[in-house]
Amino acid sequence: MTEPKTSAQLRAELKQMRRTIQEYNSIPADDDEALDRKLRSFLGRCGERVKVLQPFRCDYGYNVEIGSDCYINFNCTILDEAKVKIGDRAFIGPNVSLLTACHGITAEERRQGVEWSEPVTIGPDCWIGAGAMILPGVTIGEGSTIGAGSVVTKSVPPREVWAGNPARLIKKL
């Protein structure tokens, strides 16, 4: 069993990852080999034929697993305090946020530093529309579509279209 990391260790990892992300985002956009090599150097898993447009942001990188044949459009933010798994053939639109970090709701909890994280899973063959936010603990089922601008607060079953704020079922596929 792995020992939990200290706050100092986590802060150091975040600082290093910011430098790594800055390097990734500075690679010429048409240098596919360098982009792929850099991406693979910090992600926990990266399948074949993955395209992640710049700019891209994540906190740790090693908690992110991306399947094969995925496309992630520009300005994606992944707060990967917990695992973030993106299935094969997933498409993620521009300005999408995948968030795992949770904080206390009350001022007292926040002053005490109450924090935790919950994983996010995007199933295979999903499409996440532009500007969507996927909140901690959410799983998007295989083949589902999330409408642009949606805030997904609860898990979505396979093969459904959800949209809105908060996102709700629009139709079954």
How far is Cα 66 from Cα 87, in angstroms, rounded to an integer? 6
The DSSP 8-state label assigned to residue 3 in this structure reads P
How far is Cα 72 from Cα 77, in angstroms, rounded to an integer? 10
Alpha-carbon distances of 130 from 30, 44, 127, 150, 159, rounded to whole Å:
23, 24, 10, 9, 19
Q: Which residue has the tokens 């926040």?
A: 110
Q: Token pair of 8, please? A: 């100092």
Q: Burial, 107: exposed, middle or buried (Cβ in 10 Å; 0-12, 13-18, 19+)?
A: exposed
Q: Which amino acid is at 160?
A: E
Q: Which residue numbers are catalytic?
A: 103
> Dihedrals φ, ψ of 24, to 5°?
-60, -45
Q: Burial, 10: exposed, middle or buried (Cβ in 10 Å; 0-12, 13-18, 19+)?
A: middle
